[in-house]
Amino acid sequence: DEKEKFEPTVFRDTIVQGLNEAGNDLEAIAKFLDAAGSRLDYRRYADTLFDILVAGSMLAPGGTRIDDNDKTKMTNHCVFFADEDHDAIRNYAQVSRG
């Protein structure tokens, strides 16, 4: 048995690219996440996925983002960039629960 490599940065890049391509349409984002779930290991990369959906990129210990301001490694389609109202946050939470 050969062990599968743990590559959270590759996972991040795939998720961020899909979120950015989906645009501002939360339904398109939900469809992307649903489709990607069949080929990406959400359980293995749960922490990375949570970081992306909440903060827009991977987080280092202590909470700083690991993206070096590289726009290809971050997304604005996350809770931190959502409008500051109850309905907007609830919509993002519903997308995250799938």
Task: Quote the domain boundaries for residue 27.
Answer: 6-91
What is the average per-residue pLDDT within 70-86? 89
Question: Is residue 29 assigned to a domain?
Answer: yes
Nearest to 51 by CA among 85, 84, 83, 19: 19
Question: Is residue 32 assigned to a domain?
Answer: yes
Question: Is residue 38 assigned to a domain?
Answer: yes
Say if CB 66 and CB 72 are below 8 A apart.
Answer: no
Question: Is residue 98 assigned to a domain?
Answer: no
* Amino acid identity for residue 45 in this structure: Y
Question: Is residue 80 assigned to a domain?
Answer: yes
Q: How many domains does the chain have?
A: 1
User: Is pLDDT above 70 for 96?
Assistant: no
Q: For the purposes of burial, counting CB atoms within 10 Å of the CB of 95, is it exposed (0-12), middle (13-18) or buried (19 or more)?
A: buried
Say if CB 92 and CB 26 are below 8 A apart.
Answer: yes
What is the average per-residue pLDDT within 55-71? 89
| pTM for this entry | 0.84
